[in-house]
Structure 1
């Protein structure tokens, strides 16, 4: 008997089956946890099931490949729709090179690299984490964070280099010191100092997974790019605006407009292309930057992806639900340090890093129930990161937990 289904119907059936299989797994986790007595409220149990399904998709989404496939499918659909129409434009795939000037063939919008493989029992830890988050709610989590972290700083923290450079105007806020341990030491030839307000932060899959930095000052823009090049970083995430509520929060350290060229110290930067993160998230701007400089008398070039999240208020929560997950999916594949900064480099910066830190722990089936200890681990590397004034809502809200 012949199969009369069209290829489209066949693909749709496969997708539906994949979704069904995916949803079966977390539901069973929720039912198991609920039966064991950890949660008895029906609404909490139902909310936990939805939360587990959401977080399981995020944990399974260990790299950009699925997103690329989605954009490829959208592109193919657009081409079919426009076929035969004069002057119709095809939607470009975000997985392809975006520069008209043929950027480095090694540079991709969605690189593959240090992506954690999902452990076989990861979804059990997802279930435990979700049940705990739902039962506590936003208010309970805020109380826990305030109790555990409000005044926490690394024991015997040294900030000697920060203090030595304070009068030189190379730090933004005196009450946000940069500790000596884990600090990035600049080694760029000709640099007047080795100091920059930035620290390495490790995660379960990489020792130098992130660089958390303050927003560059006018006098440190060149040093910022020296750091990016020295650490061979491919991605920069900016979580603030240059000016917020009439106050300077960060220097304009990159050319804002497409095709614009600016020079910062000994580095020339051209903005090759500007586009939103995805069409539904216009408040995150993606720019592909081409850097040029001279090293040892030889010309060098490098491309860096720059993401600016423009509607995240300082000490507040942005309106977008899943923007953090979308953004992290774009940078997750790199093997080199991901540079993240806001203004001070602790609140908004710490929130994004904390989300990825937890995601990587869940992917590897590591226990995540003691949030206080996990966030202390982050603060031991970047003191005062993850501000407790609202950022916990961003961390929990994308996964579906809400205030009662």
Structure 2
């Protein structure tokens, strides 16, 4: 199938929000100065301290995770009970899926962070999407990475194709190559006589445990879902790339509310809700690089060189 490509658009104007918001500019300036003064090595050290001080696995309450090993993609990526998504649709079915609710600043239930579906959890994934009224799915991994299968093909990828996943029917209505790394699929999900349209957003070139070369692309992605809650987001494990995007959304939301942003505190909070979020020091540094780029894009008045 030849996929449709959209013509190029002016991207910068979509990122400059709150141009009269002095509090936003002030807080972004404070953040940038602190990041530059800390430097790459300092940020990496900061992340290693976060990781060292995270709750150890032996102290996590993860009863459902322990009871369903066959549904967990990785045995060392834990799903804590307190924030897990509990499946209740349809009734009298198993309630476990490796997914956690994550609140973003003042926005409750903004994201569902989950692992990439396995062959035996695809039906559960679509049960969750339907149950929680999700309208967007963000996929940050590929099906195959470095010769290994990292995700099941859990949606119909060709226009006009339909597949049945348990009680949920999914039809691919349209596929668009939004920009080089983003493939957008408009999917219709149906149960009985009810159907809704959802958007599946696939980021095609984000390396596992690594980071992209583009520092504004995450914000263009987040712009697509800026007014939504109950957004499903996953990579393979659902913590590294996933936690990075969620962390950036937390920061951007706080900046636009004129709040002070300390990524150390943000990542600590994310890890309480979705254990292990932001997986590597490189991803932690990338978050800061992205915010520096966003600050430049919004014309925050500060002279600096990007950390490298």
Secondary structure (helix, strand or coil) at the match of 1:360 reads helix
How far did residue 119 of structure 1 move? 5.5
Once residues 18 and 27 of structure 2 are traced to their aligned partners in structure 1, the CA distance between those partners, rounded to angstroms, is 16
1:147-206 Cα offsets, whole Å, 9 max, x none, are 22345127942011100111xx11101101100011100001256310000000001231
| Structure 1 residues 375 and 387: CA distance shift in structure 2, 3 A | same
Once residues 364 and 59 of structure 1 are traced to their aligned partners in structure 2, the CA distance between those partners, rounded to angstroms, is 14
Which residue of 336, 358, 363 maps to 2:256? 363
Secondary structure (helix, strand or coil) at the match of 1:218 reads coil
Which residue of 119, 128, 132 maps to 1:227? 128
1:375-394 Cα offsets, whole Å, 9 max, x none, are 11111111111112421243
1:89-131 Cα offsets, whole Å, 9 max, x none, are xxxxxxxxxxxxxxxxxxxxxxxxxxxxx86522211110111
1:329 matched to 2:223 = yes
Instruction: Please name the residue that 2:272 is paired with.
Output: 380
Once residues 291 and 226 of structure 1 are traced to their aligned partners in structure 2, the CA distance between those partners, rounded to angstroms, is 11
Native 8 Å contact 2:23 2:259 kept in 1: no
1:145 matched to 2:47 = yes
Which residue of 255, 266, 269 maps to 2:170? 269
Instruction: Please name the residue that 1:308 is paired with.
Output: 202
Which residue of 288, 291, 300 maps to 2:186? 288
1:256 matched to 2:157 = yes
* Structure that is richer in helix per residue: 1
Which residue of 14, 30, 53 maps to 1:128? 30
Once residues 281 and 33 of structure 2 are traced to their aligned partners in structure 1, the CA distance between those partners, rounded to angstroms, is 23
Native 8 Å contact 1:213 1:344 kept in 2: yes
Once residues 397 and 221 of structure 1 are traced to their aligned partners in structure 2, the CA distance between those partners, rounded to angstroms, is 35
| Structure 1 residues 313 and 397: CA distance shift in structure 2, 3 A | same
Structure 1 segment 341-356 matched on structure 2, within 5 A: 341-356=234-249
* Structure that is richer in strand per residue: 2
Higher-Rg member (1/2): 1
Native 8 Å contact 1:149 1:388 kept in 2: no
How far did residue 325 of structure 1 move? 0.9
How far did residue 234 of structure 1 move? 0.6
Once residues 122 and 403 of structure 1 are traced to their aligned partners in structure 2, the CA distance between those partners, rounded to angstroms, is 21
Structure 1 segment 131-210 matched on structure 2, within 5 A: 131-150=33-52, 152-153=54-55, 156-166=59-69, 169-190=70-91, 192-210=93-111
Structure 1 segment 13-92 matched on structure 2, within 5 A: 58=15, 60=17
Instruction: Please name the residue that 2:139 is paired with.
Output: 238
| Structure 1 residues 355 and 181: CA distance shift in structure 2, 3 A | same
1:218 matched to 2:105 = no
Native 8 Å contact 2:173 2:185 kept in 1: yes
Secondary structure (helix, strand or coil) at the match of 1:121 reads helix
Q: In terms of mean alpha carbon deviation, does 178-187 or 359-368 score higher? A: 359-368
- Give the number of equivalent residue pairs: 284
Native 8 Å contact 2:102 2:110 kept in 1: yes
Native 8 Å contact 1:317 1:393 kept in 2: no
1:225-255 Cα offsets, whole Å, 9 max, x none, are 1111111111100000011111111111101
Return the TM-score normalized by structure 1.
Answer: 0.66
Secondary structure (helix, strand or coil) at the match of 2:120 reads helix
Q: In terms of mean alpha carbon deviation, does 197-206 or 130-139 score higher? A: 130-139
Which residue of 324, 338, 342 maps to 2:231? 338
| Structure 1 residues 328 and 359: CA distance shift in structure 2, 3 A | same
